[in-house]
C-alpha cells in the first residue's frame, strides 16, 4: 500500500471529508475520532513521503498513462503526475501537521461557537477538503491538476470564511470569492496559452520544450500565472482581501490559511525554478521587489490596527514578504553561492512562518475563546488571568520579529547576509522591518496583557488548546537553538530539489 502513498495522501482526506458528514450522524464523538484518525493516517503518509525521498531522491507517481507517453500530445489524455522531491514532501508534511494541530485546537472552540451538530460536521468536512486541496497543489506535476486543487482550496476556504454566517463574514467570503474567480481566470488563461503552443500540461515536459523555444506568448503566460499565484498568497499589491478574511475566520482556520499561502509560495517557486528557469534573473528581481514592498506595507499597516487578529494578518503580509525576498534572491542569483544561501533562508522561513504566525493566531483565538473579544482597546490585564498566554505571546512576538534565540532569527539572519550580496538596501529593509515588527507587538502586548487585571468574563482555556499552543512554542524554541535539525534534514533537500531542474525534468521525461 505504501507504494501508493503519493496518491493516498491526497485521496484519503478527500474521502474522509465526504464521509465525516455522514459519520457525524452517529455522534460528535465518533465524528471527531474519525477526523482525528484520518488526519493522523494522512500525516503518516506524509512522513513516509519524506523518508522515501531521503532514500530514493526525486521520483514520480503517475495515474493514467505511462510516463513514456508523457511528452506526446497524442498520449492518453487522462493523466495525473505527482512529483515527490525534497520540497514537495516538506510542503505536504507541513500542511498535514498544521491541519492536525489546528483540528485538535479547534475541537472545543468549535463546540462553543457553533453549538455542535451539523455546523461542526460541516466544519470538519471543509477542513479536510482544504487539506486535500493544499496537498494536491504541493504534489502535482501538471498545470491542469494544479488548477483543480487550487479551486478546491478556494471553495473550501471561502466556505470557512462564511462559517459564522454573520454579515461581516459573508462580506469577507464574497470578497474572497471574487478574488478567487479573478485568480482562476488568470491561471486558466496562462495555462491555455501554454497548452495552445505545446499541447502539453505537464510542467517538466513544458520546461523541456521551453529550453529550445521561449516565445513572447510564454512571457505573457508567465505573467498571468505569476499574477494568479500572487493573488492567491496575498502579496502586495494584491493583499487587500487577506486581512478581512483572516479577521473573520476562526483562528484555527486562519492558521490553515497561512499554510495555504505558504503552499502558494511553493507553487510559485516550483513554476519559476522548474519551468520558467530561463527567466530567473527577471522574475527573481520582480519577486524581490514585491517581497520588499510586502514587508514595508505589512509592518506599517499593522501599527495602527485596533483588532488583534487584523494586526496579526498585516504582520503575516510582511512575513510572506521575507519569504519572497529569500526566494527572489535565490532566483536572481541562481548560479551564485549567495543565491543558494538566500533560498535556504527563504525555505527555512516558510517553516518558521507556519509556526510563528500560527502560534500568534492560536493565541488570538484563545483570547477570543476566553473573553469573546479581539478588540485591542477592549482587552487589558490578560496576564493576570492567564500567565501562560502572556508567556506564549512573548515567545511568538520575539520569533516573528526575528529576535534570538528563536527560529525566526536564524532564517532572517541567513537572508540578511545573503540578500546583502544582491543589494545592501534589501538587508536594510529586512532589518528595519523586523525592528518595526517588534515595536508593533510590544505595543499590543502592553495593551492586551499588561495593566490592571481584566475584569470581564474570562472562560478557562481548554487543555487541548493550551497544549497545541505550547507544542508550537516548543518547536519555535527548538529550531532557534538547534537550527541544524531543520536546515540539514528538511531545508537542504528542499533547496536542492528547487535548484535541480535538470533532475526534475529527467525523472519525468
DSSP string, 123-147: HHHHHHHHHHHHHHHHHB-BHHHHH
Q: What is the C-alpha separation between 109 and 367, in angstroms, rounded?
A: 11
Per-residue confidence at 124, pLDDT binned at 50, 70, 90?
confident
Residue 120 clears pLDDT 80, i.e. is over it: no
Report the number of distinct structural domains present in the chain: 1
Reference 392, options 311, 473, 308, 478; nearest CA is 473
Per residue in 200-258, pLDDT (tens digit) is 888 888 888 887 777 888 889 999 999 999 988 888 888 888 888 888 888 888 899 89
**Interval 68-77 mean pLDDT:** 47
**DSSP assignment, residue 237?**
T
SS3 call for 285: helix
What's the confidence (pLDDT) of residue 216?
Answer: 86
Contact (CB, 8 A) for 242 and 230: no
If one compares 338 and 21, the residue with the highest pLDDT of the two is 338
The three cell numbers of residue 353 are 512562518
Choice among 98-112, 285-299, 359-373 with the minimum mean pLDDT = 98-112
If one compares 6 and 456, the residue with the highest pLDDT of the two is 6
Contact (CB, 8 A) for 20 and 130: no
Q: What is the C-alpha separation between 159 and 246, in angstroms, rounded?
A: 13
Domain coverage including residue 267: 2-508
Percent composition of the chain: helix, strand, coil (DSSP 3-state, to 5): 80, 5, 15
Choice among 29-33, 66-70, 360-364, 446-450 with the minimum mean pLDDT = 66-70
What's the confidence (pLDDT) of residue 176?
Answer: 86
Residue 336 clears pLDDT 90, i.e. is over it: no
Burial class (CB in 10 A: 0-12, 13-18, 19+), 255: buried
**Interval 376-389 mean pLDDT:** 86
Q: Angle at Cα 50 formed by Cα 48 and Cα 54, nearest 5°?
A: 115
Whole-structure pTM value: 0.92
Contact (CB, 8 A) for 347 and 414: no
Q: Dihedral, CA atoms, 223, 357, 351, 321, nearest 10 degrees?
A: 30
Amino acid at each position: 500500500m505504501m507504494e501508493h502513498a503519493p496518491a493516498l495522501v491526497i485521496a484519503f482526506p478527500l474521502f474522509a471529508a465526504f464521509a465525516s458528514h455522514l459519520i457525524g450522524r452517529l455522534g460528535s464523538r465518533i465524528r471527531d475520532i474519525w477526523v482525528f484518525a484520518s488526519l493522523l493516517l494522512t500525516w503518516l503518509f506524509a512522513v513516509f513521503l519524506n523518508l522515501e525521498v531521503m532514500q530514493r531522491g526525486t521520483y514520480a507517481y503517475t495515474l493514467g498513462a505511462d510516463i513514456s507517453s508523457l511528452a506526446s500530445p497524442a498520449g492518453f489524455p487522462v493523466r495525473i503526475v505527482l512529483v515527490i522531491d525534497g520540497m514537495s514532501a516538506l510542503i505536504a508534511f507541513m500542511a498535514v501537521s498544521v491541519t492536525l494541530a489546528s483540528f485538535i485546537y479547534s475541537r472545543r472552540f468549535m463546540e462553543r461557537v457553533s453549538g455542535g451538530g451539523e455546523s461542526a460536521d460541516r466544519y470538519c468536512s471543509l477542513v479536510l477538503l482544504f487539506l486535500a486541496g493544499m496537498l494536491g497543489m504541493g504534489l502535482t506535476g501538471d498545470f491542469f491538476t494544479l488548477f483543480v486543487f487550487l479551486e478546491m482550496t478556494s471553495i473550501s476556504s471561502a466556505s470557512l470564511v462564511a462559517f459564522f454566517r454573520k454579515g461581516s463574514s459573508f462580506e469577507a467570503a464574497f470578497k474572497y470569492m471574487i478574488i478567487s474567480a479573478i485568480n482562476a481566470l488568470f491561471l486558466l488563461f496562462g495555462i491555455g496559452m501554454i497548452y495552445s503552443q505545446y499541447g502539453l500540461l505537464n510542467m517538466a515536459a513544458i520546461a523541456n520544450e521551453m529550453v529550445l523555444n521561449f516565445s513572447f506568448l510564454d512571457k505573457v503566460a508567465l505573467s498571468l500565472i505569476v499574477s494568479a499565484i500572487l493573488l492567491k498568497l496575498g502579496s502586495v499589491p494584491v493583499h487587500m482581501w487577506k486581512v478581512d478574511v483572516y479577521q473573520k475566520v476562526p483562528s484555527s482556520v486562519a492558521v490553515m490559511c497561512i499554510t495555504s499561502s505558504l503552499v502558494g509560495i511553493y507553487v510559485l517557486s516550483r513554476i519559476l525554478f522548474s519551468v520558467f528557469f530561463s527567466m530567473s534573473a527577471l522574475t527573481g528581481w520582480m519577486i524581490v521587489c514585491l517581497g520588499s514592498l510586502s514587508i514595508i506595507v505589512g509592518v506599517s499597516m499593522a501599527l495602527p490596527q485596533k483588532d488583534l487578529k487584523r494586526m496579526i494578518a498585516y504582520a503575516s503580509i510582511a512575513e510572506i514578504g521575507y519569504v519572497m525576498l529569500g526566494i527572489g534572491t535565490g532566483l536572481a542569483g541562481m548560479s551564485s553561492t549567495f543565491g543558494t544561501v538566500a533560498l535556504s533562508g527563504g525555505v527555512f522561513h516558510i517553516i518558521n512562518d507556519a509556526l510563528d504566525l500560527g502560534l500568534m493566531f492560536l493565541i488570538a483565538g484563545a483570547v477570543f475563546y476566553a473573553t469573546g473579544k479581539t478588540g485591542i482597546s477592549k482587552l487589558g490585564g490578560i496576564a493576570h488571568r492567564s500567565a501562560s498566554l502572556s508567556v506564549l505571546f512573548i515567545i511568538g512576538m520575539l520569533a516573528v520579529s526575528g529576535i534570538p534565540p528563536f527560529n525566526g532569527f536564524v532564517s532572517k539572519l541567513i537572508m540578511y547576509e545573503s540578500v546583502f550580496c544582491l543589494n545592501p538596501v534589501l538587508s536594510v529593509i529586512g532589518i528595519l522591518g523586523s525592528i518595526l515588527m517588534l515595536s508593533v507587538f510590544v505595543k499590543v502586548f502592553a495593551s492586551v496583557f499588561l495593566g490592571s487585571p481584566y475584569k470581564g468574563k474570562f472562560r478557562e482555556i481548554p487543555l487541548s488548546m493550551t497544549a497545541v499552543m505550547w507544542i508550537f512554542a516548543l518547536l519555535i524554541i527548538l529550531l532557534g537553538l538547534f537550527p541544524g535539525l531543520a536546515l540539514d534534514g528538511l531545508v537542504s533537500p528542499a533547496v536542492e530539489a528547487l535548484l535541480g531542474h535538470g533532475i526534475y525534468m529527467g525523472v519525468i521525461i
